[in-house]
Structure 1
């Protein structure tokens, strides 16, 4: 399996990391709260709330990234090393995005999100 394809799995796991941060950093998540975790997460504030928001955004961007990697792989016009580098760049952008969200750096977070979108689009461009 290629590095780019492994990046799909990594991108799938990133929202779970954000959920863990949201729940643990709240300091009050227990088994009782796990009966209705969405209601629990919707009532968070501060860092836990930002981690939850990063989780939601990670789930929202995942389908586009996975599709872009698969299209590039199927079409096969792009060099594999290019696909792999783009995959690692996307994962790096998502990690930076999560860090920016947790740190409440809104402007930088938006720029990093835009870079991630550019990387997704790049998969299609290099596949032509």
Structure 2
């Protein structure tokens, strides 16, 4: 498996880190699992923003996975380039979550656009 494929797995798992922050920060935890969606809707501040970062991460992951698969199949770029773009995307998603939780709205938007740029770069490639 290529490094880019491993990045897809990382992107799939990353939202759960944000969920963990939302659910377990402040002493709450497994006892809130009876109605987790209701519980998450009651959160405030950084924990609420962590929940929103988790939701956005789940929304963007399919596009990233498709871009990686298409880049591999179409050979849009050399493999090291595809791997590098995939790593950049995963790092951008981590930073997106950090910016969201910290309430750095402008930085969050910049990081989001960078991540979308990575997806576009995977589709377009460097050999076109």
TM-score by length of 1: 0.95
- Tell me the distance in 2 between the aligned counterparts of 1:27 and 1:102: 17
Alignment correspondent of 2:83: 84
- Tell me the distance in 1 between the aligned counterparts of 2:46 and 2:24: 11
Alignment correspondent of 2:113: 114
Uncovered stretches (5+) of structure 2, i.e. residues with no partner: none
Alignment correspondent of 1:37: 36
2-11 vs 74-83, which deviates more? 74-83
Q: Flag as ranges the 4+ runs of structure 1 deviating above 4 A.
A: none
Alignment correspondent of 2:3: 3
TM-score by length of 2: 0.95
- Tell me the distance in 1 between the aligned counterparts of 2:78 and 2:58: 28
Deviation digits for residues 104-127 of structure 1 (CA, Å, limit 9, x no counterpart): 100110110011001100001107
**3-state DSSP of counterpart to 1:78:** coil
Uncovered stretches (5+) of structure 1, i.e. residues with no partner: none
**3-state DSSP of counterpart to 2:87:** helix
- Tell me the distance in 2 between the aligned counterparts of 1:26 and 1:124: 41
55-64 vs 17-26, which deviates more? 17-26
CA RMSD of aligned residues (A): 1.1
Q: How many residue pairs get matched?
A: 127
Deviation at 1:78, TM superposition (A): 1.5
